[in-house]
């Protein structure tokens, strides 16, 4: 029986797209550009300082028309309105962003961050804080470290920020050995304040501080928390006034660690960029909407071409962690209506592009599997001279061209390449890509890029009817890991495992020779 979300009327655009795909599936970008000499102008748009060229996609005007019809049938405009009205919704929260400077807790966060940066907040001994360590041992939360890396070139001040995101107590202790406890502040990020991996590091830090200060009251001057479990944070010794609710700017940007790391001035500039893209997404017509266009293209490739991968290639060294962040957004978005997962944990999901050209990009160029690419470039780079910046962008433009149009055997006639190697030089091309250009990387532009991808993924969820899928699998894995950890810890043996897992556990015990405590979050 059809549901309100999946009526026959709504399926008309879907069926039309399936028919259209049969007509398009053998098209080549060479042919599409030959038939339309104005294609580059026709399939591009510029909004909010971001220029999007999507002409190198396997689409026609009819494709976009049908995708927009599907978006309307899936009630995307209504869903966008709901999204911006829903305070507290997981994901991109416009209502929260607008309230960020207004509510009491936001004022407390801003005040504490300012006091840390201007030296008013001191440690237990009265010394100024010079290092802030954010403890959030959650490898699925790359947001704050990514934002810090992207914008650290704009930071002016002497407060250093360190992010602890992995369980490695030996490495953590080596970091502490280089610091002065009297000048160090720890921010513990844990919704429950019971996550084992995070709390192992938190208690290590607590012992380190107390060993130097010899006073339990020192904890209140050297620890803050982002948590929903205020009771546990208070038991730890943290002042209730320095415990903030776990809230985010977007899907993975916990606001207080980001604010402290960047300083409130840079943070607010980034927030202005996020709000600017929020406004564009909520008010622009669907056919002139950057996130909607990018999201619909992903639906086209995933749901109709069966493409299981995408690559994000930023041409800026400060954005090397942006693909990790976006990959997390994508994998959280679930699978398509044709049960085709997107964003599988594959190297092609992207890295800083200059480190990819001779490896992963070549794999895409010579491969036969479709892997749509997003390129991000900047017309000016403050740290590069004009010649270097021109060369960097020339490489990016050349790569998008090679992906689209390939190289053919006739281009190598009479060249110096040995005949034995010429068979490897031709490339079929026809690999689709988007190119995003901005004038330069600023906190505002960075904020726009974050919101752009969050809204694009949201569009994919609504139009592709994808559900959240990662949490359930992760919880199953955690439960199984806890059971195995108990066996490794107490030396017990169970018969519930398959023969492979039993052999691995037995081999591990034989080689480890000890039953150390194992922490599973």
> pLDDT at position 26, please?
93
Residue 194's SS3 state is coil
| Phi (first) and psi of residue 274, to 5 degrees | -60, -45
Asked if pLDDT for residue 347 goes beyond 80, the answer is: no
With a pLDDT cut of 90, the percent of the chain lying above it is: 49
Asked if pLDDT for residue 253 goes beyond 80, the answer is: no
Residue 24: name the closest of 402, 432, 434, 368 by CA. 432
Q: Which residue has the higher pLDDT, 172 or 341?
A: 172
* Look-up of token digits 């970091």: 175
> pLDDT at position 257, please?
87
Q: How confident is the model at residue 353 (pLDDT cuts 50, 70, 90)?
A: low
Ranking 196-210, 296-310, 389-403, 473-487 by mean pLDDT, the lowest is 473-487
The arithmetic mean of pLDDT across residues 369-379, rounded, is 91
Helices (H) and strands (E) in the chain, counts: 22, 10
Residue 327: name the closest of 306, 348, 305 by CA. 348
* Look-up of token digits 């940007």: 253
Across the beta sheet with 433-438, the strand order is 44-47, 50-53, 433-438, 373-378, 311-314
The DSSP call for residue 438 is E
How many CB atoms neighbour CB 325 within 10 A? 26
> pLDDT at position 231, please?
94
The arithmetic mean of pLDDT across residues 491-519, rounded, is 72
Asked if pLDDT for residue 457 goes beyond 60, the answer is: yes
Question: Which of 108-112, 357-361, 406-410, 470-474 tops mean pLDDT?
Answer: 108-112
Asked if pLDDT for residue 348 goes beyond 50, the answer is: no
d(CA 521, CA 518): 10
Q: How confident is the model at residue 468 (pLDDT cuts 50, 70, 90)?
A: low
> pLDDT at position 510, please?
81
> pLDDT at position 497, please?
83
d(CA 205, CA 202): 5
The arithmetic mean of pLDDT across residues 49-57, rounded, is 97
> pLDDT at position 321, please?
87
Q: Which residue has the higher pLDDT, 88 or 32?
A: 32
Asked if pLDDT for residue 236 goes beyond 80, the answer is: yes
Which helix (H) or strand (E) segment holds residue 22: the answer is helix 8-24
**What is the rounded (10 degree) CA torsion for 141, 143, 148, 154?**
180
Asked if pLDDT for residue 360 goes beyond 70, the answer is: no
> pLDDT at position 456, please?
94
State the fold for domain 94-268: Rossmann fold (3.40.50)
Q: How confident is the model at residue 422 (pLDDT cuts 50, 70, 90)?
A: low
In angstroms, what CA-CA distances link 160 with 147, 186, 252, 366, 504?
Answer: 14, 12, 22, 43, 42
> Tokens at residue 464, please?
């592709």
How many CB atoms neighbour CB 503 within 10 A? 11
* Look-up of token digits 């809230």: 247
Ranking 265-269, 302-306, 328-332, 350-354 by mean pLDDT, the lowest is 350-354
pLDDT of 168-217, one tens digit each? 656 888 899 999 999 999 999 988 898 888 898 999 999 999 999 999 99
Average pLDDT of the chain is 81
d(CA 158, CA 330): 36
Residue 106: name the closest of 5, 24, 226, 20 by CA. 226
d(CA 265, CA 454): 23
> pLDDT at position 242, please?
94
Buried b / exposed e along 458-468 (16+ C-beta atoms within 10 A): bbbbbbbbbee
The arithmetic mean of pLDDT across residues 369-393, rounded, is 84
Asked if pLDDT for residue 345 goes beyond 50, the answer is: no
pLDDT of 302-340, one tens digit each? 889 988 788 899 999 899 889 888 887 777 655 332 322
> What's the N-to-C CA distance of the chain in angstroms?
41
Domain spans, the chain: 8-73+284-406+428-464, 94-268, 482-512
> pLDDT at position 493, please?
64
Q: How confident is the model at residue 75 (pLDDT cuts 50, 70, 90)?
A: very high
What predicted TM-score, i.e. pTM, was given to this entire model?
0.83
| Phi (first) and psi of residue 187, to 5 degrees | -115, 115
Residue 521: name the closest of 230, 186, 143, 191 by CA. 191
Asked if pLDDT for residue 135 goes beyond 80, the answer is: yes
Q: Which residue has the higher pLDDT, 307 or 470?
A: 307
d(CA 516, CA 167): 14
pLDDT of 97-133, one tens digit each? 554 545 677 888 899 999 999 999 999 999 999 999 9
Q: How confident is the model at residue 428 (pLDDT cuts 50, 70, 90)?
A: confident
| HEC sequence for 293-339 | HHHHHHHHHHHHHCCCCCEEEECCHHHCCHHHHHHHHHHHCCECCCC
Q: Give domain 8-73+284-406+428-464's CATH number out of 3.40.50.10490, 3.40.50.300, 3.90.1150.10, 3.40.50.150.
A: 3.40.50.10490
> pLDDT at position 382, please?
72
In angstroms, what CA-CA distances link 234 with 134, 238, 243, 277, 500?
Answer: 18, 5, 8, 38, 44
Asked if pLDDT for residue 160 goes beyond 60, the answer is: yes
> pLDDT at position 478, please?
67
Strand partners for 164: 135
DSSP codes of every residue in 500-514: HHHHHHHHHHHHH-S
The arithmetic mean of pLDDT across residues 40-64, rounded, is 96
pLDDT of 276-307, one tens digit each? 999 999 999 999 999 999 999 999 998 899 88
> Tokens at residue 143, please?
């947001």
The arithmetic mean of pLDDT across residues 236-256, rounded, is 76
């Amino acid at each position: 029986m059809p549901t309100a979300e999946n009526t026959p009327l709504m399926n008309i655009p879907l069926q039309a797209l399936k028919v259209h795909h049969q007509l398009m599936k053998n098209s080549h970008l060479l042919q599409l550009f030959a038939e339309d000499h104005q294609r580059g102008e026709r399939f591009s748009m510029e909004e909010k300082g971001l220029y999007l060229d999507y002409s190198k996609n396997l689409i026609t005007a009819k494709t976009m028309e049908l995708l927009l019809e599907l978006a309307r049938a899936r009630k995307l405009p209504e869903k966008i309105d709901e999204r911006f009205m829903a305070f507290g919704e997981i994901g991109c929260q416009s209502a929260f962003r607008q309230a960020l400077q207004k509510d009491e807790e936001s004022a407390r966060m801003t005040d504490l961050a300012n006091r840390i940066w201007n030296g008013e907040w001191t440690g237990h001994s009265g010394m100024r804080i010079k290092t802030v360590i954010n403890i959030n041992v959650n490898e699925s939360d790359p947001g704050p470290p990514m934002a810090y890396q992207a914008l650290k070139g704009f930071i002016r001040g002497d407060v250093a920020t360190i992010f602890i995101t992995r369980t490695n107590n030996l490495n953590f202790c080596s970091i502490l050995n280089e610091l002065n406890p009297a000048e160090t502040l720890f921010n513990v990020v844990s919704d429950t304040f019971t996550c084992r991996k995070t709390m192992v590091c938190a208690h290590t830090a607590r012992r380190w501080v107390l060993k130097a200060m010899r006073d339990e009251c020192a904890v209140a001057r050297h620890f803050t928390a982002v948590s929903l479990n205020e009771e546990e944070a208070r038991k730890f010794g943290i002042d209730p006034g320095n415990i903030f609710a776990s809230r985010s700017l977007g899907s993975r940007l916990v606001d207080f660690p980001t604010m402290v790391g960047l300083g409130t001035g840079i943070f607010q500039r980034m927030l202005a960029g996020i709000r600017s893209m929020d406004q564009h997404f909520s008010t622009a017509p669907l056919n002139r909407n950057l996130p909607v266009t990018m999201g619909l293209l992903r639906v086209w490739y995933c749901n109709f071409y069966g493409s299981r991968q995408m690559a994000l290639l930023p041409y800026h060294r400060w954005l090397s962690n942006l693909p990790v962040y976006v990959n997390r957004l994508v994998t959280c978005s679930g699978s398509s209506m044709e049960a085709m997962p997107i964003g599988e944990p594959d190297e092609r999901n992207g890295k800083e592009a200059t480190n990819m050209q001779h490896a992963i990009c070549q794999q895409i160029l010579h491969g036969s599997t479709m892997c749509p690419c997003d390129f991000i470039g900047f017309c000016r780079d403050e740290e590069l001279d004009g010649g270097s910046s021109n060369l960097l962008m020339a490489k990016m433009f050349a790569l998008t061209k090679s992906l689209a149009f390939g190289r053919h055997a006739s281009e190598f006639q009479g060249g110096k390449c040995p005949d034995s190697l010429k068979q490897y030089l031709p490339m079929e091309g026809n690999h689709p890509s988007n190119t995003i250009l901005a004038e330069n990387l600023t906190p505002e532009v960075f904020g726009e890029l974050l919101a752009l991808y969050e809204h694009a993924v949201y569009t994919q969820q609504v139009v592709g009817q994808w559900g959240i899928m990662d949490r359930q699998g992760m919880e199953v894995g955690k439960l199984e890991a806890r059971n195995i950890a108990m066996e490794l810890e107490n030396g017990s043996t169970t018969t519930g495992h398959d023969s492979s897992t039993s052999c691995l556990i037995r081999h591990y015990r034989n080689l480890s020779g000890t039953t150390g405590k194992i922490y599973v979050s």
